[in-house]
Copies of this chain bind each other. A is one copy, B any other.
Amino acid sequence: MTQDIEQSFEILKRGTVEIYSEKELKEKLIDARKKGRQLRIKLGMDPTAPDLHLGHTVVMRKLRQFQDLGHKAVLIIGDYTARIGDPTGQNTTRPVLSGEDIDKNAQTYFKQAEKILDTSEDKLEIRPNGEWLRDLDLAAIIKLCSSMTVARMLERDTFEQRYKKCEPISIHEFLYPLMQGYDSVMTESDVELGGTDQTFNNLAGRDLQRINGQAPQIVMTLPILAGLDGVEKMSKSKNNYIGVTDEPSDMYGKIMSISDEMMENYFTLLTDVPFGKIAELINSEKTHPKKAKAALAKDIISQFYDSEAAEKAEEDFEQVFARRELPDDMPEAVLDSQPIALSKMVAEAGLAASGGEAKRLVKQGGVSVNGEKMSDPSAQVQPEDGMVLKVGKRRFAKVVVK
């Protein structure tokens, strides 16, 4: 294997949970290089949830990496099944959509996907699966279904759990993985990308391709991104997400809110920052995770906007952050406009019981003016309207000049 193929492989492997199989992926990369052909990298798009958040971008970024290595992204729009929905009405993730809705959602999706994918004509192919699914008749469907056993289907995580819990599984639910596999046959995909929740469906594609005389696609699974809360997966309904159309300042603030433990995961899945650099940021800055998070936030904002917007977002955040420390309902300290000794100011503002206590508080380092710590009780301070006097962690006063 030449060095650049090895390098490509390492880029592609980053962040993946599983590759079925690494060996086959390497062989495909070598074969593609030798024959000067593009690999066809399939990704299914759900037309019911067009708004993209960072959770979606994990696989899309992987797709982009393939594109950057010269390969072709094949986006499948599940329009056919979206038109049908779930006939039982129980699966709320499968509402019935009109053709109009699907078109509108697809438009929204692609407008947002452009932020991540290379949309050059030779790098992107978009295929609604109704193109081939609408032509399937019962004979073809029987053939399709004959390629998979019930036992194998019930091994699938979600089915297994539901079956054990005696929760009803309707037979049509068995058809979806087969249809998804059939999409792979019809688009002759070389690689299919998906979250770990799609592993089973995507492996079905391997089976169906084999039966139809095609080389089975490589299946690469990527982790499901945790939401900002670090508990649930990122999703719009949990309101723990960062949308790709979020304003830079929102992105910045949301990323600053994640827990320190989540940083490494976000760096790995949402940026191209090399592993060495990530370790450095997270470990050497251990006492200042805020800086590592700021670096993460700026990297991500730069992807969707630019570095200028990222810097601006940081500045805004810092200002807001500083302001945010202050309570909304501070008591006012009405003072003369003359400069005044700090300890006296503290006492007059009512933040200490006496001048003596005020002096001690200042000496102990518990007093700040406009966020700046001051430790000399006799330092002269010029009172200004809106000046914030802080004692300890929770006592504040806002200066009003007479």
Query: Cβ of B143 and Cβ of A170 under 8 Å apart?
Result: no
| A295 CB to nearest chain B CB (Å) | 48
On chain B, the residues within 8 Å of A151 by CB distance are 163, 166, 168-169
Query: Cβ of A145 and Cβ of B133 under 8 Å apart?
Result: no
The reply to whether the CB of A401 lies closer than 8 angstroms to some CB of chain B is no
The reply to whether the CB of A305 lies closer than 8 angstroms to some CB of chain B is no
The prevalent SS among residues of A at the interface is: helix
Query: Cβ of B137 and Cβ of A137 under 8 Å apart?
Result: yes
Known contacts being A137-B137, A150-B150, is A142 close to B174, with CB within 8 Å?
no
A318 to B146, CA, bound (A): 55
Query: Cβ of A145 and Cβ of B175 under 8 Å apart?
Result: yes
Query: Cβ of A168 and Cβ of B149 under 8 Å apart?
Result: yes
Contact with B along A66-89 (1 / 0, CB 8 A): 000000000000001101101110
The reply to whether the CB of A34 lies closer than 8 angstroms to some CB of chain B is no
Query: Cβ of A80 and Cβ of B174 under 8 Å apart?
Result: no
A150 to B159, CA, bound (A): 10
A237 to B63, CA, bound (A): 58
On chain B, the residues within 8 Å of A148 by CB distance are 170-171
Known contacts being A137-B137, A163-B151, is A142 close to B172, with CB within 8 Å?
yes
The reply to whether the CB of A154 lies closer than 8 angstroms to some CB of chain B is yes
The reply to whether the CB of A324 lies closer than 8 angstroms to some CB of chain B is no
Query: Cβ of B175 and Cβ of A80 under 8 Å apart?
Result: no
A145-203: which have CB < 8 Å to B?
145-151, 153-154, 159, 163, 166, 168-172, 174-175, 178-179
Pick the 5 closest A-B CB pairs, nearest first.
A145-B172, A87-B146, A145-B171, A146-B172, A150-B169
19 A-B pairs within 8 Å (CB atoms) are namely A84-B143, A87-B143, A87-B146, A134-B137, A134-B138, A136-B137, A138-B175, A142-B172, A146-B171, A146-B172, A147-B170, A148-B171, A149-B169, A150-B159, A150-B169, A150-B170, A151-B163, A151-B168, A171-B174
